[in-house]
Amino acid sequence: MSDKDEFDILRTSVPAPRDEARQAALRSALGAFDENFSTAPQGSAAAHRQSGRMNKLWSAMMQMKLSATPAVAGLLVLPVAGYATWQLMSGGTFGIDREASAEKPVVETTAPASSKREEPQELAATEAEERERSFYDTLTQAEEAVQDMSGQVASSPRPAQPSRLLRSPAGGESKVMVLPPAPEPAPELAENRDRFQSFETNPVRSALESPVSTFSIDVDTASYAFVRRSLKEGFLPQPDNVRVEEMINYFPYDWAGPEDASTPFNPTVTVMPSPWNEHTKLMHVAIKGYDVQPTEKPQSNLVFLIDTSGSMNAPDKLPLLKSAFRLLVNQLGADDTVSIVTYAGSAGTVLEPTKATERAKILAALDNLDAGGRTAGEEGIREAYRLAEQSFVDGGVNRVMLATDGDFNVGQTSDEDLKTLIEDKRESGVFLSVFGFGRGNLNDQLMQTIVQNGNGTAAYIDTLAEAEKTLVEEAGSTLFPIAKDVKIQVEFNPQMVSEYRLIGYETRALNREDFNNDRVDAGEIGSGHSVTAIYEITPKGSPAEMIDDLRYGEERPAAPEGTAQDGEYAFLKLRYKALDSDTSKLITTPVTAENEIASFDAASTDQRFSVAVAAFGQKLRKADATAGLNYDEIMRIATAARGSDPFGYRAEFLSMVRLASALGERR
């Protein structure tokens, strides 16, 4: 038959394949694979065949947005790729040895009756077995890490690890036995157990129905630093990780402050058009604390309460913590004292109260700290307060400085129990600072509970630069309080304001009656610290009104023309206590047309920049009010209002906006 005739037959019908032809093709393919790549048959023992797992792992890693986390990409991709390449080039195997696989291990044998039964001894693993186990561990850890980050299954179900071969010792009948598979290796990356308090964004309220807004002052900055770290690591923060007031108050502003310490602060109120809604306005409240001059700084009694539990064993935790506190120690004066308490399993005093002149002794105590054990936070807090009270300085700074990832698991561990403990301790006159470190185990919710109930402030330290900002550049506001239990209350005039909403401060809200109750704890203001609060207000009759009038409600009669209330937007009240007093003082100021400016661009650079930060925080929280404002517009406002930026904080903010914009587009 000619070639032409054979092709004609194939055009009309395809012959059925013969079984012997299929078997021959399969043998040829497996033989070629073994000859070129492996010393063991790859078509058997599916549990040891890693090529399919490798393909799926590579696919998962390439599909992940690893460009957002280049460091993690390098940790995963390079070791796996390098090891696999080495195995192939060296003629290695991803399966067990051919001869070992040919020998069928016996699970159990019976020795001769006369021989003494002894425990088996493990054979030395062959070189092939060692390569198998090493590759298996590397591949499995990479799969688990990819799965942790992507939320997707990166591989097929995990096969059992190669069995370990055992033989009976000399003197007995030599038989091969099999032990159960070795324990699975721990995942390379720990489970993310960060805890943040969930809260709803402040709603729009009717000035007629709910004219009064009350909240505690807040000078914390932890949320901003955590958001920054999230963006730099390549992902948008969860909305509950974003507390807008902490974003705004992260930056130093040049608000007008008091001229002497007799009045610890003065409020400056400005009403301006809103940049994200042409039919609403912003009521911008700026407070600047009196700046204590260096010659006036009081003596400090500081207790470093340092978490040295096992969860702190990471480069961005205890090592960074020690470097951060070294910076602080180098700023202390000769009369200042430092004590160090650690807690891990149980609390212990590492350093009794020591004068800052003995700097080498203090730094040596810090350098010798190691991480290990569980977290006896309650016991550590009690010991730290005991030392602070023991060395209490009248008229000075008495402060416990707690540095932790927030993981308390020994003693009182519930947020409510620790809240009660801290409430009791604040009566001692000792203030509290909490510094959060690390990711994956950060208990921000617990730290917020502690600081909000114990005359405390909170910061999150993710880099040494942040430690320098908090503990060196802003040491005055961090260490030296000038007023405590500071509360704000605003009453809006329904004749001028239809609706309002407070931007941020959701976790600092107080009941209306709490404002005049001196037993209710509130925030503190440190030396030279600036605090900003922003309301979005809807003028009466504005097209932006969202709440219908009540059918049966009665509006208040308009204030007679020429009276004190005529033309007022709102009435602002501040309460605070002097550090040595339990009785509050009151500051009041009306908000009128005199506080208003005609255009947003007429506001100061600091005011406009703070509004840009407020817009950015709301955007990250997915607030409806800023849904129509894009990142480019936020960038434009912030860039135009960058102003003086000696430490580069505002330039860094612009970078964060760009990152958020890019990450948002990838969603």
Same domain, 425 and 522: no
| Any domain includes 15 | no
Domain termination site, one of 178, 204, 223? 178
User: Running along the chain, 667 residues long, what does each successive block of 10 average in pLDDT?
Assistant: 57 64 68 50 40 49 46 49 48 42 41 42 48 54 52 40 40 42 41 82 96 93 95 95 96 90 90 97 96 82 92 92 95 94 81 95 94 71 92 92 74 66 82 89 82 83 94 86 93 96 96 95 89 97 92 71 76 94 94 96 97 98 92 97 94 97 79
Same domain, 168 and 269: no
Q: What pLDDT is attached to residue 202?
A: 96
| Strand ranges of the sheet holding 530-539, from the earlier edge strand across to the other edge | 205-206, 497-503, 530-539, 281-289, 265-273
Q: How far apart, in Å, are the Cα atoms of 609 and each of 246, 273, 627, 653? A: 14, 14, 19, 10
Same domain, 332 and 471: yes
| Any domain includes 198 | no
Cβ-count burial of 30 within 10 angstroms (0-12 exposed, 13-18 middle, 19+ buried)?
middle
Same domain, 101 and 141: yes
Same domain, 499 and 648: yes
Q: Strands 530-539 and 497-503, how do they pair? A: antiparallel
Q: What pLDDT is attached to residue 601?
A: 96
Q: What pLDDT is attached to residue 261?
A: 80
Same domain, 463 and 317: yes
Q: What pLDDT is attached to residue 393?
A: 93
Helix axes 318-329, 359-367, angle to 10 degrees: 170
- Within 13 A of 182's CA, how many CA atoms are on the CB side? 12
Q: What pLDDT is attached to residue 219?
A: 84
Q: What pLDDT is attached to residue 137?
A: 57
In 232-345, the DSSP E strands lie at: 265-273, 281-289, 300-307, 337-344
| Any domain includes 193 | no
- The parent domain of residue 124 ranges over 34-178
Domain termination site, one of 149, 178, 207? 178
Integer Cα distance of 86 and 154 in angstroms? 22
| Any domain includes 433 | yes
Q: How many domains does the chain have?
A: 3
Integer Cα distance of 328 and 529 in angstroms? 18
Q: What pLDDT is attached to residue 32?
A: 57
Q: What is the token pair recorded at 112?
A: 């001769």
Q: What pLDDT is attached to residue 550?
A: 86
| Any domain includes 13 | no
Integer Cα distance of 499 and 502 in angstroms? 11
Q: Where are the alpha helices (DSSP H) in 185-302?
A: 222-232, 244-248
| Any domain includes 415 | yes
Integer Cα distance of 433 and 607 in angstroms? 28
| Residues forming a β-bridge with 216 | 487
- CATH code: domain of residue 385: 3.40.50.410
Same domain, 371 and 451: yes
Three-state DSSP class for residue 75: helix
Contact 635, 286 (CB under 8 A): no
Same domain, 521 and 404: no
Same domain, 95 and 158: yes
Q: Where are the alpha helices (DSSP H) in 440-499?
A: 444-451, 464-468, 475-479
In 41-182, the DSSP E strands lie at: 121-122, 165-167, 176-178
Same domain, 511 and 635: yes
Same domain, 515 and 605: yes
Q: What pLDDT is attached to residue 344?
A: 77
Domain termination site, one of 448, 479, 510? 479
**Which is nearest to 302 in space by CA: 338, 356, 340, 343?**
338
Integer Cα distance of 320 and 274 in angstroms? 41
Same domain, 55 and 138: yes
Q: What pLDDT is attached to residue 5?
A: 60
Q: What pLDDT is attached to residue 114?
A: 42
Q: What pLDDT is attached to residue 138?
A: 55
